[in-house]
Amino acid sequence: MKRIIYSTLALTMILFAGCKKFVDGYDKSPNDPISVTPALLLSNCEVAYFATANGQLSRQASMMIQQNVGVDFQSRDVNDYSIEEGTNVNEWTVIYANGLVNLKKLHAQSGTANPYYQGISRILTAMYLGVATDFWGDVPSREAVNGLVNLNPNYDAQKTVIEDIQTYLDEGITLLSMPEASNVLLPGTDDYIYQGDAASWIAAAHVIKARYYNRLSKRDAGGSATSALTALSAANTAGFTSNANNMNATFGDKSNEYNQWYAFTVVERAGYIKTGLPMTTLMNSWNDPRLPFYCAKDTGGLYSGSAPEEPNLDASEVGPYLATQNAPFPLVTFAEAKFIEAEVKLRSSDPGGAANAHNDAVIASVLAVTGAAASPAFVAAQASETSASITLEKIMNQKYVALYGQIEAYADWRRTNFPTLTPNSNGNITEIPRRLPTVIDERLYNTNAPSHKDLKERVWWDQ
Amino acid sequence: MIFMTWMIAMSTILAQNRNITGRVTDGKEPVIGASIQVKGTTIGTVSDENGRYNLSVPNDASTIIIKAIGLKTQELSIVGLSEINAKLEVDNVNLGEMVVTAFGIERERKTLGYSQQKVSGDELRKSGEQNMIQGLAGKAAGVYVQGSGGTPGSSSKVLLRGNVTFTGNNQPLIVVDGVPIDNNTTQSVAGDYPFNANLQGVNASNRGVDINPDDIESMNVLKGPAAAALYGVRAGAGAIIITTKKGKRGTKSFGVDFSSSLEISQVNKLPERQMKYSQGTGGGVLKADKSGSIGPGKYVPGGTSQNWGNLTKDSLGITPTDNAKDFFQTGYAYNNNISITNNTENASMRISIGRLDQTGVVPNTKFERTSARITMDSRLSKKVVMGGTVNLINSGGTRSQNGSNLSGIMLGLMRSPNSYKLNDPSAGGPNGYTNPDGTQRQYFFIYDNPYWTANENPFKDNVNRALGNIYFTVDPIEWMSLTYRLGTDMYTDQRKQIFAIGSWAPDNAPGGEIDENIIRYKEYYSDLLVTFRKDFTKDIKTSLLLGNNLNSRYDQDLYSRGRDLSAPGNYNLNNASNLYSSEANSTIRTGALFFDFNASYKNYLFLGVSGRNEWASTFGTAKNNFFYPSGNVSLVFSELVSIPKMSFGKVRFALAQAGISPIAYRTNTYFTRSTYTDGFTGGLSFPYINQNGYGYSGRIGNPNLQPEKNTGMEFGTDLRFFDNRLNVDFTYYSQKSTNLLVDRPVAPSAGYSLYYTNAGSMVNKGIELILGGTPVKMTDFSWDVSLNYSRNRNEVLELGPGIKEISLEEGFSSMGAYAIKGLPYGVLYGTRWDRTANGDFIIGANGLPRLASERGQIGNPYPRWYGGLRNTFNYKNLSFTFLFDMRVGGDIWNGTWARLNQIGVTEESAAGREKFYIIPGQKVISTAPDGTETYGPNDIKIAAYNYFRTYKGDGGNYAAENAIQDGGWVRLRDIGLSYNFKFNKKASRVIKGLQLGVTGRNLLLFTKYTGVDPETSLTGAGSNIGGWDYFNNPGTKSYTFSLKANF
């Protein structure tokens, strides 16, 4: 009996050790890596930015300013200003939990040995923060993307966020200005945007700086103009002198690489969105050569969009400029730089300079969109402004058309109120929304999140 | 170890034997099937139809034990005797019902201190269900079965006493003959699929469907942690212990059983659709009189999915088509089973083959299952028994597209206009669903024609599975026995989805797509059980089980997708110009040591204590082993006090803790290839333009994971009255799940979405009542009634610091299923109407209710209570039985109805189309500068279009709450008539039994639900949530004709 008890105990001890050994070493996933290279992180962050700039936010922005009109299902709801706290969870998440957090990792992992990766990471960080703050106003910046260290990041005032954007851009420019030889790893094809060309990044960063200086036109008309002009001059010096320098999102021929305007309007959600009558009316009045690129012909053979208040299923579809599977999508363009120049020069009492910049911008846009130089007739009518004829409305109306589909156009409209738009009379609210509501995931899970539900509320730079 | 015990066994095999014979009676009649066993050995036999037995016993054997159900056990000395007759007394106390508990240990029911319910194989087969899980519906208390629709092979989910975990498996462990089997439901989905796969795809099977119900002897439901605690980290949700049919060693007999049945099934319920108005818009200006857009016109399909057009017949001259009626067909299921049993004194064997061929109500859908099984055991010596089972299964079929899916059968079908004939041979195409050029005919260009889907886009699956175990039992000494069991479950599930060129479901539509998906599963399971028995006195008896268990589970999901097919009709990956593949593997290993101690005092007090220490690979490196204890006590008080009319009375109490393991690989933070999508398109994913990309997966890893613990308390009584004519079994339980693993949502601005951590807790409290009675019992006639009633109340107690709500599974943009502090698990949470302080709708200037700015709870998908009531009447050889199944409460989000209202397809949207509506509520009269509003009764008239599009539908500023409906029901779950032919002695040498039967399933259904049969689940058994209906495939009713013969 005793022997059996002792041997049972001994056996139990052996089995204890055996059980532990049996399970040891099976806790690591064979499916996913726990560390990756800077190149993989950069590709990820750029594609996430393409999705941000080219996806739902760009469709929504274009519907707010009536470049497009949602005529069916969820797009019609957006068109009717039915935008609530659940509408843009995806986009917010991509900005922070796919973009910014990985850029931070890219910056940290690249270290001082790889200033180019670090520099690109800083510029992209500024671009993501820009999108976030333009739509949502005060957003987390300084305490953001710290994981368990801070699960409730503070919402920084928009003024601070925009200062941070400028700082990140400056840092990026400094890092990318270092000699190529100070890099162990160099970005290449993993950089879809500029294939690792530091000079191109620097030039584009200066334009983005100008964009965010100019963003403060309502808060500081004079100072914003001066700073923007300085930045634009630096961009010019850095080589941002033609469409060739445009920063584009790139797309491919496979279905997971499609331009999201194509994926949405042609493949998966055909019929949801048509072009907007306010934009097509403007363009028709100009005999605009970009019309066949921006619009498909409507059922009557014309280029005519739908009125926002009366969904018209026969109106022109979104045209091949946006809706082509591999069409590049502009993020920062020479035309935009010139429009900013025109606007800030006008504000700085330089109407001649403003007119010239405006004319250059229009010509650059037509060339970029159509692939051909604008006709003399069009140039004469639309790109021959003078110091006497130039107005803010003309600049902004042209910019509105040139930046078709780009989020930036929505910010421009909010700053300048041009073009003059009539709110959708069937909308849930009587004004065109000026912001997005705080997303539900922040309201629920971040104790520091504010609660902005009123779409009419204006972000700081819009006040 | 194995070798050693083998040696012990061999050394005893040469002992000398002698024969004893005898007869067992209860004083009047012979006792058939009494067990006669040599004490302290496994040597035994059973008595034949005359009560006689013949047993070869070792020369040194001194005592035999004779047992029979309902009779008192006797121990008799055989020293010097060769004929031993036994007269067993009727045992009113010890009903002797043997039940199977954890690890397949058979115990007397009365000794158990916890609740456990047995569903016999016959009861299961009465349901007419081919899926053993669905077969449990309505049959046991505390067992909640949720089917997912009536397509062949579709999954069924089972919950015991409600949900116990947020992220883990809420379904019980399924154990067949002592070895766990996989019962997962897996959707085929590529690694880059960004959404919740359960919302779309096909109706997949839960893998329990592979088990042939005809092989099942009984299912024992171990409902709470007390019953299941011995299974440790897999027992948190309870366990279902299945015992299969086997031969019976000890008698010489040979038998052949044959059964054959034909089931004829049809759709039992569909949403009511209007046959009056055509496809078209115009609804926006539709007036209450007929002067609006209603008038002569020309009908052109396409352009819109709306059905707010002209009068189909009166204005357009088109005869309306009821596409749904034309589409669904009658399904047939042929089920044939044959089994052969051969028993000898020292060995038994049963071989069975079953074949099921089932076609569905959706054309071209089918499910087939072939199961071949052999189980045998053999006594090698008086101390050693060996045996084993092999079950080979082939199953699979052609599945039906379901849910939120452009190819979804119901999506394309229910939305179809009455002005458009989906299957129109006169359209000039090669088929009724194709154009003359062979392309797909569509009424709206993004919805696949369901005929096209059913004919051109098959999803086929083919599962090859092997289940089996081998075991041996040794009784080296009288007070000790040892069992070793090695089991396996392995299968390969090969699936292929074809989307023909021109289909709209794939992201790259219309380029065509092929998906090849292979799921491999391998489980090994090893048990070593050593049992010691010690009787301290005549009254105090004890037993101690010590055990070791090792378990390894591996699965792999390989997915290959080919898009943009070149040659039409060639469905091979070689024909695709765009290839993608993904792979996911997981290995989970556990090892455990456990004990189970039982003691009894006299015949009325029973005590059980068990414990299990378990190591698992899914825990972090910090601590990877945990302990799970349990204890129970039962008192048969009717032994102590005599209560008039009471034949048996027992009270029981149990307390236990069982665990639920974390999901594998959650201890580290990983990088993944993300898919960037806004929910409207397939989005952007990697490899992207020949370049890969990785980013943080969004989930923060946690190296300190602990098991979820389900701590349960239960007490109950078993009472029997009037000589067992009335039985009452009542249980109250309270189970608290703590340390619940939560995918704790993280604000995205912190850089992640989720943090997997032990933070939650939840409680389930409920009662289970089983009543059984025989109100009438006469020589030729008897009437049996059994009733089961269950109610469970669940409340989420804790979700982690500062967290009030967690989305359990990604839902639709306006609603989801959540765990919310203070509310039941899985509540439907979505957009709501704004209300005044009095609860009235606040009506906006447009005459429609205003949407509340924040979401809230809109429904609870779990019933307030549910139960089943079975009546069985036997008259001579005729048996008539029926089961009513009730579910009271349980909300369903009827997304189908909301969408059909929006697009003007529902019957109600047509009946009330030409009038104005005033929605009851309070309209805003004025707004003070501080935002305070004053209200007055609403008198704003709105057109039917706005009423149905937004107030009753899901267009515009709608609230998801408007589509929440009561999914409760009363149904005639089954009704059956059978006749048993009796044969005279001469005939019975050839044929022993013949039974003819006819069964109806779901023939009556009473419900307020306006959609398909409310026993439906969009997300299926693979999901932890329920209560969603978004173009779910319909349920069915059926008639089954069966024949059963024994030779």
**Segment B659-692, tens digit of pLDDT:** 888 889 999 999 999 889 888 888 999 999 999 9
| Percentage of chain B exceeding pLDDT 90 | 60
pLDDT score for B507: 75
pLDDT score for B16: 66
Among the partner residues A144, A268, A439, nearest to B682 by beta-carbon distance: A268
**Are residues A125 and A168 in contact, defined by beta-carbon separation less than 8 angstroms?**
yes
Structure tokens at B523: 């489980």
Taking CB atoms and an 8 Å cutoff, what residues of chain A touch B192? 256
Q: Which long-range contacts (CB under 8 A, 24 or more apart) does B752-755 make?
A: B752/A97, B752/A101, B752/A147, B752/B696, B752/B698, B752/B699, B752/B700, B753/A93, B753/A97, B753/A441, B753/B698, B753/B699, B754/B698, B754/B699, B754/B700, B755/A148, B755/A151, B755/B699, B755/B700, B755/B702
Looking at the domain assignment, is residue A394 inside a domain? no
Q: Where is pLDDT greater, at B682 or A210? A: A210
A212 vs A224: CA distance, rounded Å: 9
Return the H-helix or E-strand segment holding B528. strand B513-535
CA angle A264, A265, A266 (to 5 degrees): 100
pLDDT score for B625: 87
Per-residue DSSP letters for B438-486?
Answer: SPBP-SSTTSPPHHHHHHH--EEEEEEEEEEEEEEEEEEETTEEEEEEE
Q: Which B positions 743-762 lie with beta carbon below 8 A of chain A?
A: 745-753, 755
Looking at the domain assignment, is residue A319 inside a domain? no
Q: Is the pLDDT of residue B438 over 50?
A: yes
pLDDT score for A333: 97
Mutate to test the interface with B, among A16, A20, A22 (most CBs of B within 10 A): A22
Nearest CA-CA distance, residue A99 and chain B, Å: 9
Q: Does the beta-carbon distance from B665 to A55 stay under 8 Å?
A: no
Q: Is the pLDDT of residue B284 over 70?
A: no
Structural domain boundaries, residue A65: 1-15+35-196+250-273+429-451
pLDDT score for B5: 43
**Segment A52-78, tens digit of pLDDT:** 999 999 999 999 999 999 998 889 989
Q: Where is pLDDT greater, at B284 or B832? A: B832
Nearest CA-CA distance, residue B807 and chain A, Å: 10
Would you place residue B2 in the very low, low, confident or very high pLDDT band (cuts 50, 70, 90)? very low
**Segment B474-491, tens digit of pLDDT:** 998 889 999 999 999 999
Q: What are phi and psi of B69, to 5 degrees?
A: -65, 130
Mean pLDDT for B983-999 is: 85
Mean pLDDT for B156-171 is: 90
B82 vs B18: CA distance, rounded Å: 9
Structure tokens at B368: 């087939």
B472 vs B492: CA distance, rounded Å: 29
pLDDT score for B292: 34
pLDDT score for B91: 60
**Are residues A154 and A142 in contact, defined by beta-carbon separation less than 8 angstroms?**
yes
pLDDT score for B444: 87
B845 touches chain A (CB under 8 A): no
Among the partner residues A29, A50, A255, nearest to B665 by beta-carbon distance: A29
B950 vs B486: CA distance, rounded Å: 60
Q: Where is pLDDT greater, at B48 or A278? A: A278
Q: What are phi and psi of B910, to 5 degrees?
A: -90, -40
Q: Per the omega criterion (within 30 degrees of 0), is the bond before B425 cis?
A: no
**Segment B797-817, tens digit of pLDDT:** 999 887 888 888 888 878 889
pLDDT score for B921: 94
CA dihedral A17, A20, A22, A23 (to 10 degrees): 180
What residue in B sits closest to A20 (Cα-Cα)? Answer: B615
pLDDT score for A32: 93
Nearest CA-CA distance, residue B940 and chain A, Å: 16
Q: Is the pLDDT of residue B293 over 80?
A: no
B679 touches chain A (CB under 8 A): yes
Per-residue DSSP letters for B941-1009?
Answer: -EEHHHIIIIISSSSSS--GGGGEEE--EEEEEEEEEEEEEP--TTGGGT--EEEEEEEEES--EE---
Taking CB atoms and an 8 Å cutoff, what residues of chain A touch B690? 189
Give the closest residue to A201 by CA, choosing from A161, A242, A239.
A239
CA angle A289, A293, A296 (to 5 degrees): 115
Among the partner residues A44, A257, A313, nearest to B694 by beta-carbon distance: A44
Would you place residue A86 in the very low, low, confident or very high pLDDT band (cuts 50, 70, 90)? confident
Looking at the domain assignment, is residue A239 inside a domain? no
Among the partner residues A101, A190, A260, nearest to B752 by beta-carbon distance: A101
B155 touches chain A (CB under 8 A): no
Q: Is the pLDDT of residue B248 over 90?
A: no
Taking one residue from A and the other from B, the number of pairs with CB-CB distance under 8 angstroms is 314
Q: Does the beta-carbon distance from A74 to B588 stay under 8 Å?
A: no
Structure tokens at B326: 């034309």
What residue in B sits closest to A255 (Cα-Cα)? Answer: B508
B945 vs A121: CA distance, rounded Å: 51
Return the H-helix or E-strand segment holding B543. strand B540-565
CA distances from A407 to A224, A293, B661 (A): 20, 19, 46
B724 vs B664: CA distance, rounded Å: 49
A192 vs A51: CA distance, rounded Å: 13
What residue in B sits closest to A22 (Cα-Cα)? Answer: B591
Among the partner residues B585, B688, B748, nearest to A441 by beta-carbon distance: B748
Q: Is the ipTM of this complex over 0.90?
A: yes
pLDDT score for A457: 96
CA angle A88, A91, A96 (to 5 degrees): 125
pLDDT score for B976: 93
Q: Which B positions 539-568 lie with beta carbon below 8 A of chain A?
A: 546, 548, 550, 563-564
Q: Which residues contact A2 (CB under 8 A, 6 or more apart)?
A: none
**Segment A229-250, tens digit of pLDDT:** 999 999 999 999 999 999 999 9
Looking at the domain assignment, is residue A70 inside a domain? yes
pLDDT score for B299: 76
Of B393-407, B799-813, B871-885, the least confident: B799-813
Range of A172-186, B153-167, B236-250, B651-665 with top mean pLDDT: A172-186
pLDDT score for B287: 35
Is the whole model's pTM more than 0.90, yes or no?
A: no
pLDDT score for B96: 61
**For chain A, what is the mean pLDDT?**
94
**Are residues A246 and A368 in contact, defined by beta-carbon separation less than 8 angstroms?**
yes
**Segment B167-179, tens digit of pLDDT:** 888 999 999 999 9
- The number of folded domains in chain A is 1
**Segment A327-368, tens digit of pLDDT:** 999 999 999 999 999 999 999 999 999 999 999 999 999 999
Give the closest residue to B382 by CA, choosing from B16, B67, B84.
B16
Taking CB atoms and an 8 Å cutoff, what residues of chain B touch A144? 749-751
B223 vs B235: CA distance, rounded Å: 10
Would you place residue B286 in the very low, low, confident or very high pLDDT band (cuts 50, 70, 90)? very low
CA angle B269, B275, B277 (to 5 degrees): 135
Taking CB atoms and an 8 Å cutoff, what residues of chain A touch B957? 77, 80, 82, 428
Would you place residue B66 in the very low, low, confident or very high pLDDT band (cuts 50, 70, 90)? confident
Mean pLDDT for B356-360 is: 96
Q: What share of chain A is helix, strand, coil (3-state, %, to 5)?
A: 55, 5, 40
Looking at the domain assignment, is residue A67 inside a domain? yes
Q: How many CB atoms lie within 10 A of CB B642?
A: 8
A332 vs A330: CA distance, rounded Å: 6
Give the closest residue to B820 by CA, choosing from A90, A449, A451, A444.
A444
Q: Does the beta-carbon distance from A255 to B669 stay under 8 Å?
A: no
Q: Where is pLDDT greater, at A406 or B224? A: A406
Would you place residue B300 in the very low, low, confident or very high pLDDT band (cuts 50, 70, 90)? confident
Q: How many CB atoms lie within 10 A of CB B535?
A: 12
pLDDT score for B283: 55
| Locus of tokens 């978004």 | B1030
Burial of A238 (0-12, 13-18, 19+ CB in 10 A): buried
Q: Is the pLDDT of residue B832 over 90?
A: yes
Nearest CA-CA distance, residue B509 and chain A, Å: 6
Looking at the domain assignment, is residue A213 inside a domain? no
Q: Does the beta-carbon distance from A271 to B591 stay under 8 Å?
A: no
Nearest CA-CA distance, residue B163 and chain A, Å: 24
| Strands in A164-277 per DSSP E | 247-249, 273-275
Q: What are phi and psi of B319, to 5 degrees?
A: -75, 120
β-strands B366-381, B384-399: how paired? antiparallel
Q: Does the beta-carbon distance from B591 to A22 stay under 8 Å?
A: yes
Q: Does the beta-carbon distance from A271 to B617 stay under 8 Å?
A: no
pLDDT score for B285: 43
* CA dihedral sign, ordered B575, B576, B580, B586: negative
Q: What is the CA radius of gyration of chain B?
A: 31
Of A169-183, B45-59, B783-797, the least confident: B45-59
Would you place residue B1 in the very low, low, confident or very high pLDDT band (cuts 50, 70, 90)? very low
Q: Is the pLDDT of residue B928 over 90?
A: no
**Are residues A433 and A64 in contact, defined by beta-carbon separation less than 8 angstroms?**
yes
Q: Where is pLDDT greater, at A300 or B574? A: B574
Among the partner residues B580, B617, B957, nearest to A428 by beta-carbon distance: B957
The angle, 0 to 180 degrees and rounded to 10, between the axes of the packed helices A38-54 and A115-136 is: 20
Q: Which residues contact A380 (CB under 8 A, 6 or more apart)?
A: none
Would you place residue B295 in the very low, low, confident or very high pLDDT band (cuts 50, 70, 90)? very low
| Strands in B799-875 per DSSP E | 805-812, 815-820, 827-830, 842-843, 856-859, 865-875
Mean pLDDT for A373-388 is: 96
B995 vs B985: CA distance, rounded Å: 17
**Segment B74-91, tens digit of pLDDT:** 888 888 888 888 888 766
Give the closest residue to A250 by CA, choosing from A261, A259, A242.
A259
Q: How many CA atoms lie within 13 A of A431 on its CB side?
A: 10
Q: Is the pLDDT of residue B655 over 60?
A: yes
Q: Which B positions 594-623 lie with beta carbon below 8 A of chain A?
A: 613-621
**Segment B931-957, tens digit of pLDDT:** 888 999 999 999 888 899 999 999 888
Among the partner residues B281, B751, B854, nearest to A145 by beta-carbon distance: B751
Q: Does the beta-carbon distance from B585 to A30 stay under 8 Å?
A: yes
**Segment B490-514, tens digit of pLDDT:** 999 999 999 999 998 887 778 899 9
Q: Which B positions 926-955 lie with beta carbon below 8 A of chain A?
A: 955
CATH code, domain carrying A101: 1.25.40.390
Taking CB atoms and an 8 Å cutoff, what residues of chain A touch B746? 151, 445
CA distances from A105 to A46, A96, A108, A150, B785 (A): 14, 12, 5, 16, 68
Per-residue DSSP letters for B119-175?
Answer: EEHHHHHHTT-SSTTGGGTTTSTTEEEEE--SSTT--EEEEESS---SSS--SPEEE
pLDDT score for B200: 84
Mean pLDDT for B155-176 is: 91
Q: How many CB atoms lie within 10 A of CB B592?
A: 28
Q: Where is pLDDT greater, at B298 or B227? A: B227
Q: Is the pLDDT of residue B630 over 70?
A: yes
Nearest CA-CA distance, residue A222 and chain B, Å: 34
B653 touches chain A (CB under 8 A): no
Looking at the domain assignment, is residue A334 inside a domain? no
Looking at the domain assignment, is residue A398 inside a domain? no
